[in-house]
Amino acid sequence: RKEVEQDPGPFNVPEGATVAFNCTYSNSASQSFFWYRQDCRKEPKLLMSVYSSGNEDGRFTAQLNRASQYISLLIRDSKLSDSATYLCVVNEEGAQNSGGYQKVTFGIGTKLQVIP
Amino acid sequence: ETGVTQTPRHLVMGMTNKKSLKCEQHLGHNAMYWYKQSAKKPLELMFVYSLEERVENNSVPSRFSPECPNSSHLFLHLHTLQPEDSALYLCASSQLAGESDTQYFGPGTRLTVL
């Protein structure tokens, strides 16, 4: 089983639609979770962290389900500019491992294409 | 945005060449990373430096040799690469033992090995 698993898509949705992505992780001890956005031929950039209580940032909502070991990202009122690949990122050993750095594992990413 | 810069942005090299990739971070971070991103694969962590010491080497072939002379600079020395090494090489940095655990990426070097 992959450490971090995502449906690569693509998800083709019309403007204004609501779309949701899920990501599952295998390490139950994982503590930190993130969604990154990567535009075509660009570097990944942090979209939002995912907290246990769930969090919202404008049209974006992230949820964490520890029991089922998955995180989700919901995008409401999709814009053309939301077209990108969304990477699920999991800190696999907790907030700090023995090396004192943030070791994270990336999913393959889910490609979203918002169409006019 | 110039938090993490990488040069060159594009590189084409033959299998017998020697080249180096450079990364510089201006964020005051103490951890730096090299990742490889190939088509249809997730980012693969290659090396991690924490306080200028290598703390992770993810079974990377010896034809890739990292160097971290100080906390702001990271190099990846390349020699006798193979065509399958063609990929986007991303550098990232993060704080060490800090409250923020976000990794900030550079724009990457797109490498083609002929």
DSSP string, chain B: --SEEEE-SEEEE-TT-EEEEEEEE-S--SEEEEEEE-TTS--EEEEEEETTEEEEE-S--TTEEEEEEETTEEEEEEES--GGG-EEEEEEEE-SSSS----EE---EEEEE-
pLDDT of A27: 86
Mean model confidence pLDDT for chain B:
90
- Structure tokens belonging to residue A93: 């050993």
Nearest-Cα distance to chain B for A45, in Å, is 7
pLDDT at B43: 93
Instruction: Tell me the residue type at A61.
Output: T
Residue-wise pLDDT tens digits, A62-79:
999 999 999 999 999 999
Residue B18 confidence (pLDDT) above 80: yes
Phi, psi of A54 (to 5 degrees): 80, 150
pLDDT of residue A1: 64
- Residue A100, pLDDT score: 58
Q: Give rounded-to-5 percent helix, strand, coil for chain A.
A: 5, 55, 45
Residue A115 burial (CB count, 10 A): 11
User: What pLDDT, in 10s, does the model give residues B65-88?
Assistant: 999 999 999 999 999 999 999 999
The pLDDT score that the predictor gives to residue B99 is: 44
**Most A CBs within 10 Å: which of B101, B104, B109, B110, as the mutation test of the A interface?**
B101
Q: What is the pLDDT of residue A99?
A: 55
Residue A19: is its pLDDT beyond 70? yes
B50 interfaces chain A, CB cutoff of 8 Å: yes
Structure tokens at A44: 């990944």
Structural tokens at position A110: 């889910």
Give the model's confidence band at B50: pLDDT under 50 very low, under 70 low, under 90 confident, else very high.
confident
* pLDDT tier, B98 (very low <50, low <70, confident <90, very high otherwise): very low
Percent of chain A with pLDDT over 90: 72
Most confident of A12-16, A99-103, B42-46, B97-101: A12-16
| Amino acid B53: pLDDT | 83
B56 neighbourhood in chain A, CB within 8 Å: 99, 101, 103
Chain B residues near residue A4 by CB distance under 8 angstroms: 42
Nearest to A94 by CA among A19, A32, A16: A32
A106 touching chain B per CB within 8 A: yes
Rounded to whole angstroms, how far apart are CA atoms B66 and B68? Answer: 7
Query: Of the given ranges (A23-32, A54-63, B79-88), which has the lowest mean pLDDT?
Result: A23-32
Q: B43 and A95 in contact by Cβ < 8 A?
A: no
H/E segment holding residue A35: strand A32-38
| pLDDT (mean) for A9-33 | 92
Q: What is the pLDDT of residue B56?
A: 77
Q: Which residues of A touch B97 (CB under 8 A)?
A: 96, 100
Mutation target for B interface from A4, A49, A98, A102: give the one with most B CBs within 10 A.
A102
Q: Is A58 on the interface with B (CB under 8 A)?
A: no
pLDDT of B1 reads: 54
A101 touching B (Cβ < 8 Å): yes
